[in-house]
Amino acid sequence: MSLSIRVVPLIKKIFRKPLFILIVWLSLATVAGLQHYALGHYNNYRIFKNVFWNSVEGKNLYALYPDEHNDSNHYGPFFSVVFAPFALLPDAPGLCLWIMFNGAVLFYAIRQLPLKESTIIALLWLVTNELYTSYSNQQINPLVAASIILAYTWMRQGKDFWAAAVIMAGTFIKLYSIAGLAFFFFSKNKTNLVASCVFWAIVCFSAPMVISGPAFVVQSYRDWYVSIKTKDELNAKESHHQDISLSGVVRRVSGHRDIPMLYFLIPGLVLFLLPYLKTQYYDDTTFQQLMLCSVLLFICLFSSSTESSTYIVAFTGVSLWFLLHEPPPAKIILGLLIFAFVLTSLSPTDLVPRPVRAFITSYSLKAVPCVFVWLYLMAELLKYNPSSKWQKTIA
């Protein structure tokens, strides 16, 4: 009995250590990498590796290469530079290190949030399951979430030059990261931010030319545009694993998969922008972080390219939103978190029977809890004023 009394507090103490969580995240990344390598299920990694080697060889970055992998690349030419260190490695270590890199950057980004240490620890644990889902797909979504978080935290800290760097780097890989500019009005030096964005845009546009030359890179940007446009059309009408968003739910439940995206995007964008009218709260840290939650959710809920692994972005927003409320949270707040954790985070796992998972995927139901959270969050933002219902943040 005395041994258990001593052990339990020790375990609790260990679980509250950021270093322990980082070790868990990196271990899970290694497990995911080795497991998928052993099974041969690392098609996305092969695509990414080929982006670099196709750049070197001057081959179309967006063509199909059925002898090497399924599907095609949809990331920008700048990705060839980012992925180069991993592409030069053998597949097994390259795959593991790539997944670990994604997790480590997100860990760093979350640690920069102006929150109490206990809140950050809770946030890291809450997103762990969703992070593993992203790990299993080997995609860049944890980096997307990290780029948006860092854009906010670095602007808040007056590091506009580096905020612009992560926004532009992310945008030139996967367009989602342009959402980092949503924090423009929170910047203390907007002129510097704009100039820095221009500088980093030039750097990111030009960097692939070191590998493959100017003409090839310019043509690749044209090809990227065509690739994105084609993919968007296919996502809405044919894909079962894309468009896991508000539009996807409505299109699939109604059976009308030809409903234009603008029917969702325009009203969603209007609602998203309304909180910016509360200019008196631009310097309020809690208001800023609620806007961060809104951005993380919005980019998933209003994109036809959203898939299951993209929800590390949205679920980070859900978890942060929940933790910003002063405990104990209202029943509706707790209920929405549980709803999101079960249907959004757990639904792709083996804890859910395969037929149920297939049903959830068929109707994009993974998005539903996040839709409710975002709508509730928007209501909170529209009637926001500092009060005791919010956690005390770091000034």
pLDDT, tens only, 127-140 = 999 999 999 999 99
Residue type (1 letter), 347: S
For position 357, what pLDDT does the model report?
Answer: 92
Asked if the model's pLDDT at residue 1 lies above 90, the reply is no
Tens of pLDDT along 308-330? 999 999 999 999 999 999 989 99
Residue 388: inside a domain = no
For position 283, what pLDDT does the model report?
Answer: 94
Q: What is the pTM of this model?
A: 0.94
Quick one: average pLDDT of 54-82? Answer: 93
**Confidence class for position 236, pLDDT limits 50, 70, 90:** low
d(CA 221, CA 219): 5
Q: Is 94 exposed, middle or buried (0-12, 13-18, 19+ CB in 10 A)?
A: buried
Its domain, for residue 16, covers 2-382
Tens of pLDDT along 178-197? 999 999 999 999 999 999 99
Residue 395: inside a domain = no
Q: What percent of the chain stands above pLDDT 70?
A: 96
Residue 387: inside a domain = no
Residue 72's nearest CA partner among 53, 46, 93, 94 is 46
Asked if the model's pLDDT at residue 4 lies above 60, the reply is no
Query: How many CA within 13 A on the CB side of residue 329?
Result: 15
Least confident of 163-172, 173-182, 233-242, 251-260: 233-242
Residue 251: inside a domain = yes
Q: What is the tally of structural domains in the chain?
A: 1
Residue 392: inside a domain = no
For position 239, what pLDDT does the model report?
Answer: 63
For position 243, what pLDDT does the model report?
Answer: 86
Asked if the model's pLDDT at residue 238 lies above 70, the reply is no
d(CA 224, CA 232): 12
For position 257, what pLDDT does the model report?
Answer: 84
Residue 263: inside a domain = yes
Residue 391: inside a domain = no
Residue 389: inside a domain = no
